[in-house]
Amino acid sequence: ALDWFQSHLDEMVEAISTLVRVKSVSREDQAQPNAPFGPGCRRVLDTAIRLARSMNFDVRDCEGYCAAASSGDDARAIGIAAHLDVVPEGDGWLHSPYDPVREGDYLFGRGVSDNKSAAVLGLYCMKYLEETHSLRHGVRLLMGVSEETGMRDLAYYARHYPCPDFTLV
């Protein structure tokens, strides 16, 4: 498995960087139809949906609250939860927060570690499991855009869609 992930490292870094380039501060005061957390969150959600679809996963846009990417037997899916929203960037950055910089083994940018990398790694775990036929269950990655402001994204999902019996956060 380690060799597989190492061989996809540059792809994963580019996917994380693509998401980091989108300023996705959750702003309910800027809500629009199909964008309840504002235009930045809508843009990052659309970016993540395109990424998941490019990897041939089934993707559901849940009215802009979140997106669910699925692989395998969705009725028996194990869930993975990640979020794409960030808190405001503040001051003191050595690099531009929305222009990711890779220095050695480190990637700097707003949302790299909290939590856009988790969404990308979830997609690549799904890809690995599909390619190696390593899991009898399906996997469903939930990508929300309101974790930093009260998790109304996943609360909405839980009210309107069937949830996996088991979800990793």
β-sheet with 58-61: strand ranges across: 58-61, 66-71, 139-144, 78-83, 166-168
**HSE-CB of 15 using CA atoms within 13 angstroms:** 24
How does DSSP assign 128-139, residue by residue? HHHHHT--SS-E
**pTM for the predicted model, two decimal places:** 0.95
The end-to-end CA distance of the chain, in Å, is 21
Both tokens of 54, joined, read 């490019």
pLDDT tens by residue, the chain, 169 residues: 899 999 999 999 999 999 999 999 999 999 999 999 999 999 999 999 999 999 999 999 999 999 999 999 988 899 999 999 999 999 999 999 999 999 999 999 999 999 999 999 999 999 999 999 888 889 999 999 999 999 999 999 999 999 999 999 8
What torsion, rounded to 10 degrees, do the Cα atoms 77, 127, 134, 137 define?
A: 10
Residue 34 phi/psi, 5° resolution? 65, 15
